[in-house]
Amino acid sequence: MEGLFGRAKKIGEVIDQKIRENKNMMIVGHLDADGITSASIIAKAILRKGGRFIVRITNSLRPKTLLDLKEGEYDFYIFCELGAGMAKQIDEAFGGRWVAMDHHQISEDEKGLENIVNAWQFDFDGTREVSAAGISYIVASKMDKDNTDLSCLAVVGALGDRQDQGEGGSMLELNKIIINDAIKSGCLRVVKDLMLYGRETKPIHEAVASTITPFIPSLTGNRDACLATLTSAGIRLKEGARWRTIAELSEEERKKVVEAIIPYLTLAPTATDKVRELIGDVYIMEREDEYTPLKDAREFATLLNACGRMGRGGVGVLICLGDRNLALQEGERIITDYRYTLNNYVQTILSEEGRVVGGSWSFMIVGDGLVDENMLGSLSSILSGMTRFEGKAIILRTATKDGDISFSARKTKGCKPNLNLGSIMAEASRFDGVGGGHDVAAGARIASHRQVEFLKVIEDRLRQANEDESNDIDQTQE
Ligand code: C5P
């Protein structure tokens, strides 16, 4: 902890120095909720000290992106949730004029760099214990102790990266400390409740229909079926002409909702786990208005993710910086389009022949001609929660606009614990590509003519991980 806090303080001092020198800074954030909150936390900390900056949200740092960024001729660059595995190229482009905040796995060489603050450098598990937004928050809190209110955005970032992996949707280690800061600063409350999407904002049947974790067969994405199911279970869905929300339900009514959903979940072999996924810690943003998608921190994260993935990351940043007028209205429109698009992808993938190819250790899912490259991660996360894909890794691919192939990989329930998709993707992308990520969620982008070699490495490594695990079990039994 001391090491991480010390490094965060030093990086904060570097940024402070640039503010004092009136340098023009570019903050570059990854396009998901964690990247957007991570970039926004640093932006807000700089803004509060009167510094100069712009924020850019981007998909990945490829050599081409670095050239683009360089054209802007900024004095200093701050990378948020980006740059793992790219330190050498970034240095070539910007010399010593950059710092990075991240939680992705990095090589031993990169761990030695002092202008990076990354969870793994200090033996924190960046997949589960702290997000990039958490790291940015620690830097911001070292820049000024009055930045503790930014802890709320760090909670949103961690939820966006599904770091609520403790019992009942709780968070672990450093994230717990950040949650405590948020509670103490009066911007967060944590309660046990139904973890349905839109508990503050949506009519109850729509909240059930919008829930993708867990994926509820026949109900997720099907508003009419949800309305019929909840009505026949005797749940009062309206107050006069107004639809009620999950947040308004009594204890008794909440139980009724769970009982109505259970029969759909029990179609799955892992039904007990799925039912457990329905109830847990709900993170309420105390300073946000009721009935907005920002009130529930998970919904806030989904909104930011939607903005980033639909190519509107700037709207997400404005919301994080405090715009509750035009940016929020725009964000609400974006999320409607985003949900519609994702639902369409899921239905098409599941119904069109040839889109799902089952192998020994993975499902290869073909999104070519259907899935936008920026939406890959959101789609693979949804697919990874579906019972029919359990036990094998999901490798989702799509052809990109400039002729490459982009991959998004996810572990599913029942995958071997030793399987590390992040290192597999990093290794396989040595063929004209970039790739990496976490053990449970990773991605890569490669030149299309290197696909055969790429897939061979993936297949070999998946087989190895599965065989190693069986050997371990054999030896334990002996
Ligand atoms: O895009 P997706 O959500 O699948 O990405 C999963 C993880 O893999 C993210 O943490 C992302 O930063 C990482 N990734 C990467 N290189 C890529 C694509 C994704 O490191 N080319």
CA distance 248 to 284: 14
Confidence of residue 392 (pLDDT cuts 50, 70, 90): very high
For residues 142 and 9, the answer to whether their CB atoms sit within 8 Å is yes
Res 80: pLDDT: 98
Probe target for ligand 1 pocket from 30, 32, 396, 454, with the most ligand atoms within 8 Å of CB: 32
444 pairs with which residues across the strands? 407, 435
User: Across all residues in the chain, what is the average pLDDT?
Assistant: 91
Q: Report, as an integer, the average pLDDT of 373-396.
A: 92
Kindly state the percentage of the chain with pLDDT values over 90.
73
Nearest CA to ligand 1 atom 20: 436
Confidence of residue 432 (pLDDT cuts 50, 70, 90): confident
Token representation of residue 385? 């929660």
Tell me: the pLDDT tens digits for 346-366?
999 999 999 999 999 999 999
Choose the weakest-confidence range: 87-101, 175-189, 462-476: 462-476
CA distance 81 to 359: 32
Res 267: pLDDT: 62
Residues with CB under 6 A from ligand 1: 30, 60, 104, 376-377, 380, 408, 434-438, 441-445
Q: Are strands 433-437 and 404-410 parallel, antiparallel or unpaired?
A: unpaired
Write out 322-353 in H/E/C secondary structure: CCCCHHHHHHHHHHHHHHHHHHHHHHHHHHCC
Is there a cis peptide before residue 214, judged by omega within 30 degrees of 0?
yes
Q: Is the model more confident about 56 or about 385?
A: 56
Token representation of residue 135? 């790291």
3-class DSSP assignment, residue 218: coil
Confidence of residue 94 (pLDDT cuts 50, 70, 90): very high
Ligand 1 atom nearest to CA at 30: 12
137: closest CA among 51, 61, 34, 59? 34
Distance from residue 234's CA to the centre of ligand 1 (Å)? 44
Nearest CA to ligand 1 atom 19: 443
Q: Report, as an integer, the average pLDDT of 133-140.
A: 98
| 50: DSSP letter | T
Res 198: pLDDT: 87
Find which of 207-221, 226-240, 276-290 is predicted with most confidence, using mean pLDDT: 226-240
Probe target for ligand 1 pocket from 438, 446, 454, 458, with the most ligand atoms within 8 Å of CB: 438
Nearest CA to ligand 1 atom 1: 377
Q: What is the CA radius of gyration of the chain?
A: 22
Res 272: pLDDT: 63
Res 167: pLDDT: 86
Look-up of token digits 């063929």: 431
Res 477: pLDDT: 39
CA distance 62 to 80: 15
Nearest CA to ligand 1 atom 3: 377
Q: Report, as an integer, the average pLDDT of 302-307.
A: 96
Q: Would you say residue 476 has pLDDT above 60?
A: no
Choose the weakest-confidence range: 42-51, 140-149, 194-203, 307-316: 194-203
Q: Would you say residue 229 has pLDDT above 70?
A: yes
Distance from residue 406's CA to the centre of ligand 1 (Å)? 10
Distance from residue 146's CA to the centre of ligand 1 (Å)? 33
Distance from residue 276's CA to the centre of ligand 1 (Å)? 28
Ligand 1 atom nearest to CA at 104: 10
Probe target for ligand 1 pocket from 31, 34, 59, 104, with the most ligand atoms within 8 Å of CB: 104
Full set of structural domains in the chain with CATH: 2-185 (3.90.1640.30), 193-349 (no CATH), 352-467 (3.10.310.40)
Kindly state the percentage of the chain with pLDDT values over 70.
96
Nearest CA to ligand 1 atom 6: 442
Res 470: pLDDT: 55
For the chain, the straight-line distance linking the first and the last C-alpha, in angstroms and rounded, comes to: 40
Q: Report, as an integer, the average pLDDT of 154-174.
A: 93
Res 422: pLDDT: 93
Ligand 1 atom nearest to CA at 444: 21
Distance from residue 141's CA to the centre of ligand 1 (Å)? 27
Distance from residue 163's CA to the centre of ligand 1 (Å)? 15
Tell me: the pLDDT tens digits for 173-218?
899 999 999 999 999 999 988 888 888 889 999 999 988 777 787 8
Nearest CA to ligand 1 atom 10: 437
Ligand 1 atom nearest to CA at 435: 16
CA distance 24 to 195: 42
Q: Which amino acid is at 320?
A: C
CA distance 283 to 295: 8
Distance from residue 447's CA to the centre of ligand 1 (Å)? 16
Distance from residue 472's CA to the centre of ligand 1 (Å)? 29
CA distance 66 to 90: 7
Q: Which amino acid is at 384?
A: S
Q: Would you say residue 474 has pLDDT above 50?
A: no
Q: Is the model more confident about 209 or about 476?
A: 209
Is residue 258 exposed (0-12), middle (13-18) or buried (19+ Cβ within 10 Å)? middle
Q: Would you say residue 271 has pLDDT above 80?
A: no
Distance from residue 38's CA to the centre of ligand 1 (Å)? 16
Confidence of residue 43 (pLDDT cuts 50, 70, 90): very high
Distance from residue 326's CA to the centre of ligand 1 (Å)? 30
Confidence of residue 433 (pLDDT cuts 50, 70, 90): confident
Distance from residue 437's CA to the centre of ligand 1 (Å)? 5
Q: Is the model more confident about 387 or about 337?
A: 337
